[in-house]
Amino acid sequence: MSNEYINIHEFDFNLICEYFSSIERQGPGSVESTLKALSFIDNLSNQSVIADLGCGTGGQTMTLAQHSKGKLLGLDLFPGFIDRFNENAANLNLQDRVKGIVGSMVELPFQAEELDLIWSEGAIYNIGFERGVSEWHKYLKTGGYIAVTEASWFTDERPAEINDFWNEAYPEIDTIPVKVAQLQKAGYIPIATFCLPETCWTKNFYEPQLAAQDMFLRKHIDNQTANELVANERHEAELYSKYKDYYGYVFYIGKKR
């Protein structure tokens, strides 16, 4: 890897971080969906340890913390997100129970069977759903839960434009029955699945980006990477509005056998 490459990469990394730090969520979701998923989890006590993988700035982690017991560890690759995460925890006076750490979901800093619950909203695609649910399994206690959201097809067939877009962006996207079978094969009892409502994408994810985009573009007016980043996000939002009947985020909840 040349230095030039590292510099460009770091620069992009910082820009992406700056863009997404300015909004509360870095992926589609809602307080209601987090709480609905949490309603299936019945093993938590004050001694529990929960890990939120790919936590971003912690939108969903703070919701979880306010409605659960035990200790919460948010893990994310971006130090800028973790700084913001820990500020958010302190602002809500949750710093004694909620801690953000920099790390990677491909190499978790936990002991075998240390965790009671693994949470991950809009982030498991970074490792891939099948690999993530398989590799993370060993960190859970028997009877512990996993709750993740994953982009999924709602139908067996779909128009070529959206099929091609996703196969390029995340080839592992698949139908709900396929994902449930993967969860079961990885050693979990599939407890529940539900589709996130449309507003998780529109009102909570794409709309807050509109204001952030204008500010971001004014600040980085001549920057090609910044312009491309915003163009990509806008394209993704347009595709969602056109093809939302064919795909969405789905919560998958499993219990370790």
Contact set with ligand SAH (CB under 6 A)? 25-27, 29, 54-56, 59-60, 75-78, 81, 104-106, 121-123, 126
**Least distance from C-beta 168 to ligand SAH, angstroms?**
18
Tokens of 133: 């649910």
Length of the chain: 257
When the beta carbons of 104 and 184 are compared against ligand SAH, the nearer one is 104
When the beta carbons of 62 and 186 are compared against ligand SAH, the nearer one is 62
Closest CA to 253 of 148, 116, 106: 148
When the beta carbons of 48 and 60 are compared against ligand SAH, the nearer one is 60
When the beta carbons of 161 and 225 are compared against ligand SAH, the nearer one is 225
Cα-to-chain-centroid distance, residue 94 = 21
When the beta carbons of 183 and 200 are compared against ligand SAH, the nearer one is 200
When the beta carbons of 28 and 144 are compared against ligand SAH, the nearer one is 28
Distance between CA atoms of residues 196 and 111, nearest Å: 32
Q: Are 46 and 70 in contact (CB under 8 A)?
A: yes
**Which helix (H) or strand (E) element contains residue 132?**
helix 129-136
Tokens of 129: 């759903």
**Least distance from C-beta 223 to ligand SAH, angstroms?**
20
Q: Going by C-beta distance under 8 Å and a sequence separation of 6 or more, which residues neighbour residue 242?
A: 162
Distance between CA atoms of residues 249 and 204, nearest Å: 13
**Least distance from C-beta 175 to ligand SAH, angstroms?**
22
Q: Going by C-beta distance under 8 Å and a sequence separation of 6 or more, which residues neighbour residue 189?
A: 254, 255, 257
Distance between CA atoms of residues 173 and 145, nearest Å: 22
**Least distance from C-beta 156 to ligand SAH, angstroms?**
28
**Least distance from C-beta 102 to ligand SAH, angstroms?**
9
**Least distance from C-beta 222 to ligand SAH, angstroms?**
26
**Least distance from C-beta 28 to ligand SAH, angstroms?**
7
Q: For residue 27, how many other CB atoms are within 10 A of its CB?
A: 20
Distance between CA atoms of residues 257 and 252, nearest Å: 16
When the beta carbons of 121 and 233 are compared against ligand SAH, the nearer one is 121
CA 2 → CA 8, 88, 91, 236, 256, distances in Å? 10, 36, 41, 31, 43
Residue 252 DSSP SS3: strand
